[in-house]
Structure 1
């Protein structure tokens, strides 16, 4: 079973996610923005979700983590929880 390690930032609106993505593109640190803005409890850990298996997360999230290039910030991605910016650190 495929596994991955990823970071994410969860916010309520697409506009918030887009604004944060612009800050990241401008050189802001992912962990700093996650701690300040993420609605997910993982925000306290800089957005670190640790290691998880394919299927552990909702489909839209899995699609990015297991299908897009690693070490790039992807999103905004909409799920039932809100809007995510996702950075996959590793996959195996």
Structure 2
């Protein structure tokens, strides 16, 4: 069980959610060529967070679906990861911060 002294990991991330892998790969290529992640999220993401440039804010470990969680809590910071397949579709994920509370 979690006690008061136990550490909980938190992270902040932004993402772009699309229905198919091909679109996800195409958007990643655009980002790698210098396109703005937030602008692409606003234009293409099917998640409501797209309106905020894909920003998901801060969340605790295991708060998101497993595939998403695994990338966010083990992946390199400030790098675009993906395509990551979940029950919702395909994600590009950028981890903006991570810490132990």
> What is the TM-score normalised by the length of structure 2?
0.91
Mapped partners of 1:31, 1:25: distance in 2: 13
Q: Which residue in 1 is equivalent to 2:62?
A: 55
Shift of the alpha carbon at 1:89? 0.2
Q: Which residue in 2 is equivalent to 1:70?
A: 77
Aligned length, in residue pairs:
92
Alignment gaps of 5+ in structure 1: none
Q: Which residue in 2 is equivalent to 1:42?
A: 49
Deviations 1:20-59 (A, max 9, x none): 0000000000000000000000000000000000011000
CA RMSD of aligned residues (A): 0.3
Mapped partners of 1:30, 1:59: distance in 2: 23
- Judging by fraction of residues, say which structure has more helix: 1
Ranges of 4+ aligned residues in structure 1 off by more than 6 Å: none
> What is the TM-score normalised by the length of structure 1?
0.99
Q: Which residue in 2 is equivalent to 1:81?
A: 88
Alignment gaps of 5+ in structure 2: 1-7
